[in-house]
Chains A and B, each alone.
Chain A
Amino acid sequence: MLHLLVITHEKDRVTGLKVERLGETSAASTISYLDNAVVYVGSSYGDSQLIKLNLQPDSKGSYVEVLESFVNLGPIVDFCVVDLERQGQGQVVTCSGAFKDGTLRIVRNGIGINEQASAELPGIKGMWSLRASSKDVYDTFLVVTFISETRILAINAEDELEETEIEGFDSDAQTLFCQNVLHDQLIQVTASSLRLVDAISRRQLNEWRAPPGLSINVAAASSSQVLLATGGGHLVYIEIGQRELIEVKHVKLEYEISCLDINPVGEDPDRSYLAVVGMWTDITARIFSLPNLELLTKHSLGGEIIPRSVLFCTFEGIPYLLCALGDGHLFNFILDVNTGQLSDRKKVSLGTQPITLRTFRSKNATHVFAASDRPTVIYSSNRKLLYSNVNLKEVNYMCPFNSASFPDSLAIGKEGELTIGTIDDIQKLHIRTVPLNEHARRIAHQEATRTFAICSAKYIPTVEDMETHFVRLLDDQTFENIASFQLDAYENGCSIISCSFTDDNNVYYCVGTGYAIPEESEPNKGRILVFLVEDGKLQLVAEKETKGAVYNLNAFNGKLLAAINHKIHLYKWTLRDDGTRELQSECGHHGHILALFVQSRGDFIVMGDLMKSISLLIYKPEEGAIEECARDYNANWMSAVEILDDDIYLGAENSFNLFTVRKNSDAATDEERSKLEVVGEYHLGEFVNRFRHGSLVMRLPDSETSQIPTVIFGTVNGVIGVIASLPQEQYMFLHKLQQNLVKVIKGVGGLSHEQWRSFSNERKTVDAKNFLDGDLIESFLDLSRSRMEEISTAMSVPVEELCKRVEELTRLH
């Protein structure tokens, strides 16, 4: 809310103060008046805005017009890593903002399309771009086909798309394929015929008609060849000459053909010596030699889903065969150009709908666009195929459209719409905002019911400091509020998890709360609420009163581990005589100042205390007791903890530092065993609120990087970062690289990198150890060649090798 304070004065005397309401903006942390009634509202709790103050109020009585918003993720109070599309790529859903600007933000890796133009065109069945002549650099025509007609769009002098005609084309039939071919000619394939058209005069030169009774189903062409498939499994190979079409070969296959491609992958860009055909019925991909159509390879794809699109393409000099199925899966093979043999079969899931594959070029590299319900760009980096989401909802068809007015653009056919847009850089984070209008404090995702549950606080500015707290259930696709549960007055939701218990198949949401009575410094009452999601409703199944705020909840071997004030408590889920269930306290552990952060793994519990660093506790099932086995004796004020692996635990500390401690289970003396040894220290410069295991990039099962575990963290300033546990060898290598980089890359203002990254709090300052600065190392790729070589000589490792290793690292996030 923005108000204007008017100070009226007469000469030196102030005669009155008046506050005038201007309108609503983000909660401002800073306001600067720029000029011409344009004001920048900087906000640390919501998006910063550039606003214009109008002289006249709009219909709602607001003088404020938002010109631009700048996305701000901070403060990230909590987040979870989920794979909503179930395709192996994590998305981060953060609880961002505060007060009325509270939002959920969905952050994911993806490629953005910047829309340049769009038109309503329902029922698109295919698109191709054509050049006016073979010598043209830019595309002129965009052929769009529908069920029973074909329209040709062209860019006119006013840079507008306008419908034109190519005389030789059959405009009353659906086009199956069209392309520029040799000798300044065009081809158009329709269900009944193949037409050859002169590109200059646009008149039909020749026509090949399908045999009577058979219609052409699919077609593909290179500059000099056409391959057609007609009903009944006929495969026809036609060569294009000057003003003529020569049918060279005709074979009949035993099944119907679903898709084919003859994109040239060999040396000759105009002529392909291989053809790939996807088959109905036996679900195979077959490779034929051209021009004699001999079967070279038959590769069964397995399953019952037919291939819908096949494509030859070359990435970084390596020929691949991509084969997309009707259910959104994609196979890729490495192709031997001479023998047609396929090797290195890999399968990934890109979406759930049939995929159409098309190649396009962007920034001088070939990419493949897989149009489906989850459009994806396939590209290659360091001889590895990578998949990146495009942040469009659903794309049916796509073709590159490199016109003079829209250079390097793509024409994208969506449901009922044609869009022309340019594509972003590959691998960019995409952020989606779900406004809540209230402050989300905790979030949990439940796979079984496909829902999110959040603890949120609605802040009512009119009532002084009065907040109402809710547990809300959201759909994980639409983010619609399905159900809400209002907490008692002064009751705050402090923690939430989704978990299941032993002897019970249901998955529950457990919510820990605390009563924050204003006069009490420490909440001494709280509840654990157990909810079951049934028919989109939150059903309160059980409730357990606690003597303090439940700061943390953890699923613990089918039980529930709660951190209540300075105590850790284990609850088991028991069946009462009347069939209802309840939480029953089993055992506890105390002696902490405030058990704020708890993580568990197996029987081990890692606890981050408010001010006493990390302790490791162990649950002994035989004795039914929790005991402390080791702790870090440094007095770190914790802000988050996470378990990296069985022995190493990660902590974030009040003075913006990170550190790792190691359990010394095989140490000789009790004294050493009871001590968590500090192994890594690092100054992050950000206040970490939460660690979670997970990754924002798609983890391909075959890549090396998938073996590296990563932890994502979210900070007060809205930073999302990744911490990866590198293997020793890689660490040593990159550490050496970092040391060399520090000598070459100078910090802003000549500040020392080493000094900045050294662990420093009120008590001590020590050099960073066992942590690497990924940002610094990745900046290697931005260096000039000579600088790279300088480092390469210092390291005595070739530049290419260095680049490869660093790029490997970049693919972790």
Chain B
Amino acid sequence: MWQMVGRRETGRLPPHKFRALLQKTRLYSIELAGHKEIASAHKSGVNSLQIDATEARYLLSGAADGSVAVYDIEQATAYDHSTRTSKHEALFMVDKRVLNGHLYSVSCVHWYPIDTGIFVTGSFDNFVNVWDTNTTQVELQFNMSKKVYSLSMSTLATTHMLIATGTDDTRIRLCDIASGAFTHTLSGHRDSVWVVQWSTRSEWVLVSGGCDGAIRFWDIRRAGCYQILDQQCSQIGRRPPVLKKSSRTHGREDNLCTKYLNASSPIRQRGQKRSFGISAVDSRTAHYGSVAGLQMTADGLHMISAGTDSRLRLWDVESGCNTLVNYPSTYIRGNKGIQMAVTPDSSLVFTPSLNAILVYDVWSGHSYSSLRGHYDQVNCCAFHPQGQELYTGSNDRKILVWAPRRPIDIDNFDYEDAEQAIKADEDAWSD
């Protein structure tokens, strides 16, 4: 570290490289943070997390009991001197007791990208609520008439304020905060849409993934979707092989995967049967099974998708090709989507897998570590870009903070205390 600072001082290490290098080394040492603790205000599993884009200071969480809470992740509400942990309690929490609050599970939360005065939540009670952060009241409601699985607002948008929603319905609807009405209905998916995400490259492009295994790209200025990702297409200009052969090409995959493939085949076949009558393009799939998570890289050139077929796939967005990066398999189950996270330099992807969070190198698929700490299935990850911290929410009702390893505060008198504390910590988490 001192050497790196020295190299930066003498100009041998350009500052941007210094920064990238340090961020990377910090990332690889990420572990359960001993110094930071979020006191979850929820009484049931945490479904969705998001850190605001403006200050990267407030964490928004939505839980299965219909509650939504906001935490200040910079300023601790309490500091425990004996264990040296700062405790972050919720700044406020809203649940069904609030007028028009969500009655059932909150599946997704989203900050208004411009400031932290507004946030948006979607719930299984069929409503999308727009909240005023300062009054903690619902300002606007959209009735989607089906369970809301996912919603997204574009961080780039300068001309629109649309909330894209993925629901149990096959249609994606865009809600306009300005008018309080639906502006678009995008139909194409053949099953529920679990994930929607705006492109990080263009404010008009929306990506969606559904239970039908398809990932569709929409340009909201045009009718219909303009691209459907095909897992078989891995080279530009090459015709994708016939679908039936697909199981054979994937034959050398590990057992678990093939087993799962067989298990999920009825869904696939049902999809195919339906698609025969329409067109071959329409029947392309990105995953065998549902698409559970989508995450674009910060530059918007690549996208990572996760499916209930236990695969992660990296897509080249421009050509729509499957890059065939082989990520070790994950375990994603459940009846709703998950939230993955990609670091801003697009080097690592964090994906929930059962009780753990798996850390993969985006480009090689190499598995770096598996972050274990949750007692139950992990639903969502949110990455804090400046502090290189990862926040994860799970069905065990907890929000955990994962941070780069920091040298333990050791100083003469409290050396042993600290060591004890670490030991105690280890005990507490070994399950």
What is the CA–CA distance of A514 and B1 in the complex, to the nearest angstrom?
Answer: 10
Digitize A284-325: 1 where CB-to-B-CB distance is under 8 Å, 0 elsewhere. 000000000000000000000000000000000000000000
Other-chain residue from B9, B18, B57, B74 in contact with A77 (beta carbon distance below 8 A): B9
State how many angstroms separate the Cβ of A117 from the closest Cβ of chain B.
Answer: 42
Closest to A594 in B: B1
B262 in the interface (beta carbon within 8 A): no
The reply to whether the CB of B322 lies closer than 8 angstroms to some CB of chain A is no
A465, closest chain B residue (CB)? B3
Nearest chain B CB to A762 CB, angstrom units: 8
User: Is A716 touching B11 in the complex (CB atoms < 8 A)?
Assistant: yes
- B residues in contact with A763, CB < 8 Å: 386
**Secondary structure type dominating chain A contacts:** loop
Q: Tell me the residues in window 84-115 of chain A with beta carbons closer than 8 Å to chain B beta carbons.
A: 98
A564 — nearest CB in chain B belongs to which residue?
B411
Report whether B9 and A567 are in contact in the complex, using a CB–CB cutoff of 8 Å.
no
> Contact between B1 and A74 (Cβ–Cβ < 8 Å)?
no
A674 and B1 form a contact (CB under 8 A): no
Assembly CA distance A649 to B35 (angstroms): 28
Interface size bucket, B side?
20 to 34
Q: What residues of chain A lie closer than 8 Å to B3, measured between beta carbons?
A: 492, 516
Shortest B354–chain A CB gap in Å is 31
Question: Do residues A639 and B409 form an inter-chain contact, with CB atoms below 8 A?
Answer: no
Closest to B345 in A: A762
Contact A565 B10 (CB under 8 A): no
Decide if B9 touches A716 in the complex (CB within 8 Å): yes
The answer to whether A514 and B15 touch across the interface, beta carbons within 8 angstroms, is: no
Q: Once the chains bind, are A585 and B406 in contact (CB under 8 Å)?
A: no
CB-contacts of B374-431 with A (<8 A): 385-387, 406-407, 409-412
Q: Find A98's partner among B12, B15, B74, B410 (CB 8 Å cutoff).
A: B12
* Smallest CB separation, B318 vs chain A (Å): 23
Q: Is the CB of B2 within 8 A of A523?
A: yes
Q: Mark A572-591, 1 if CB is under 8 A from B, else 0.
A: 00000000000001001011
Per-residue CB contact flags for chain B residues 40-79 toward chain A (1 = under 8 Å, else 0) read: 0000000000000001110000000000000000110000
- B4-57: which have CB < 8 Å to A? 5-6, 8-12, 15-16, 18-19, 22, 25, 35, 55-57
Instruction: State the CA gap A415–B86 with chains docked (Å).
Output: 71
Q: How far is the CA of A635 from the CA of B55 in the complex (A)?
A: 9
**A611 touching B18 by the CB < 8 A rule?**
no
- Fill in one digit per residue for A599-619: 1 if any B CB lies within 8 Å of its CB, else 0: 000000000001110000000
Minimal Cβ-Cβ distance residue in A for B388: A611
- A596 on interface, CB distance cutoff 8 Å: yes
Q: A522-B407, A549-B1, A549-B2 are in contact. Are A717 and B11 (CB under 8 A)?
A: yes
> Are A567 and B11 within 8 A (Cβ)?
no
Select which of A75, A514, A674 is within 8 A of B2 by beta carbon. Answer: A514
Contact B411 A588, beta carbon cutoff 8 Å: yes
A569–B411 Cα distance when bound, in Å, is 10
CB of A234 closer than 8 Å to a CB of B: no
B35 and A591: CB pair below 8 A? yes
Chain B CB within 8 A of A689 CB: yes
Among residues of B, the one whose C-beta sits closest to the C-beta of A670 is: B75
Asked if A590 and B2 make an inter-chain contact with CB atoms under 8 angstroms apart, the answer reads no
Instruction: Kindly report which residue of chain A lies nearest to residue B5, judged by CB atoms.
Output: A596
Contact B1 A687, beta carbon cutoff 8 Å:
no
Docked CA distance A350–B25 (Å): 55
- Chain A residues with Cβ below 8 Å from B12 are 98
What CA separation (Å) do A596 and B1 show in the bound complex?
Answer: 11
In the complex, are the beta carbons of B406 and A566 less than 8 A apart? yes
Question: Would A656 and B15 count as touching, CB distance under 8 A?
Answer: yes
**Chain A proximity of B69: nearest CB distance (Å):** 19
Q: Answer whether residue A154 sits at the interface, using C-beta atoms and an 8 A cutoff.
A: no
Q: Does chain B have a CB within 8 A of A633?
A: yes
Residues of B within 8 A of A590 (CB): 84, 409
- Cβ B35 vs Cβ A98 within 8 A: no
- Supposing A521-B1, A521-B25, A523-B1 touch, asked if A633 and B55 sit within 8 A by C-beta, the answer is yes
* A584 nearest CB neighbor, chain B only: B412
- 0/1 interface trace, chain A 543-570, chain B, CB 8 Å (1 if under): 0000111010000000000000111010
The complex places the Cα of A128 from the Cα of B25 at a distance, in Å, of 72
Q: Which residues of A contact B6 (CB under 8 A)?
A: 441, 492
B266 to chain A, nearest CB (A): 48
B386 CB contacts on chain A under 8 angstroms:
611-612, 635, 763
The listed residue (B1, B10, B409) touching A522 by CB distance below 8 A is B1
User: Given A596-B5, A633-B74, is A75 in contact with B15 using a C-beta cutoff of 8 Å?
Assistant: no
- Is the Cβ of B2 less than 8 Å from the Cβ of A494? yes
Residue of B whose beta carbon sits closest to that of A764: B54
Mask, B242-258, CB within 8 Å of A = 1, is: 00000000000000000
Q: Are B15 and A654 in contact (CB under 8 A)?
A: yes
Residues of chain A contacted by B56 (CB below 8 angstroms) = 635
Contact assessment for B407 and A637 in the assembled complex, using a CB-CB cutoff below 8 Å: no
In the complex with contacts A548-B407, A591-B35, A637-B9 CB distance below 8 A: no
B16 and A655 contacting across the interface, CB-CB below 8 Å:
yes
Inter-chain contact B2/A516, CB cutoff 8 Å: yes
Given A548-B407, A566-B406, A585-B412, are A44 and B11 also a contact pair (CB < 8 Å)?
yes
Q: Give the residue of A77, A612, A687 whose beta carbon is less than 8 angstroms from that of B15.
A: A687
Within 8 A of A (CB), among B69-116: 74-75, 84, 86
Contact partners of B410 in chain A: CB under 8 A: 524, 547
CA gap between A481 and B421 in the complex, in Å: 49
Given the complex, which residues of B lie within 8 Å of A639, measured CB to CB?
Answer: 8, 15
A656→B386 CA distance, assembly (Å): 18
CB distance from A677 to the nearest CB of B (A): 14
Known A-B contacts A492-B2, A524-B407, A565-B407; the reply to A75 vs B57 at CB < 8 A is no
A596 to B407, CA, bound (A): 15
Quick check: is A45 within 8 A (CB to CB) of the other chain?
yes
How close is A489's CB to chain B, nearest CB, in angstroms? 15
Flag if A98 contacts B19 (CB, 8 Å): no
Closest chain-A Cβ to B106's Cβ sits at a distance in Å of 27
Tell me, in angstroms, the Cα distance from A777 to B411 when the chains sit together. Answer: 52
A108→B35 CA distance, assembly (Å): 49
Which chain A residues numbered 124 to 179 have a C-beta less than 8 Å away from chain B? none
Query: Residues 273-306 of chain B: 1 if any A CB is under 8 Å from the residue's CB, otherwise 0?
Result: 0000000000000000000000000000000000
- Compute how far the CA of A767 lies from the CA of B143 in the bound complex, rounded to whole angstroms: 42
Contacts of B75 in A (CB 8 A): 674
- Give A551 to B5 CA distance when docked, in angstroms: 10
The residue among B8, B25, B55, B57 with the most chain A CB atoms within 10 A of its own CB is B8
Compute how far the CA of A687 lies from the CA of B14 in the bound complex, rounded to whole angstroms: 9
CB neighbours of A717 from chain B (8 A): 11
Cβ–Cβ contact B86 & A591, under 8 A: yes
Give the docked Cα–Cα distance between A641 and B361 (Å).
36
Q: Mark A475-489, 1 if CB is under 8 A from B, else 0.
A: 000000000000000
Report which of B11, B15, B74 forms a contact with A74, defined as CB distance below 8 A: B11
Contacts of A567 in B (CB 8 A): 409, 411
Q: Are B1 and A75 in contact (CB under 8 A)?
A: no
Which residues from A are CB-within-8-Å of B84? 590
A446 to B74, CA, bound (A): 41
**A44 / chain B contacts, CB cutoff of 8 Å:** 11
Rounded to whole angstroms, the CA-CA distance of A716 and B16 in the bound complex is: 14
| A689–B5 alpha-carbon span in the complex (Å) | 10
- With A and B bound together, what is the CA distance between A590 and B86 in angstroms? 11
Q: Residue-by-residue, is A661-692 near B (CB-CB < 8 Å gives 1, otherwise 0)? A: 00000000000001000000000000101000
State the Cβ distance, A458 to closest chain B Cβ, in Å. Answer: 14
CB<8 Å pairs between A and B, sample of 10: A74-B11, A494-B2, A516-B3, A522-B1, A567-B411, A585-B411, A590-B409, A593-B387, A637-B15, A655-B16
Which 5 A-B residue pairs are closest in the complex by CB-CB distance? A635-B386, A716-B11, A654-B15, A75-B10, A75-B11
Known: A567-B409, A637-B15. 15 other contacts (CB 8 A): A98-B12, A492-B3, A522-B1, A523-B1, A524-B407, A547-B410, A549-B1, A549-B2, A566-B406, A611-B387, A612-B386, A635-B385, A654-B18, A716-B11, A762-B19
Residues of B within 8 A of A (CB): 1-3, 5-6, 8-12, 15-16, 18-19, 22, 25, 35, 55-57, 74-75, 84, 86, 385-387, 406-407, 409-412
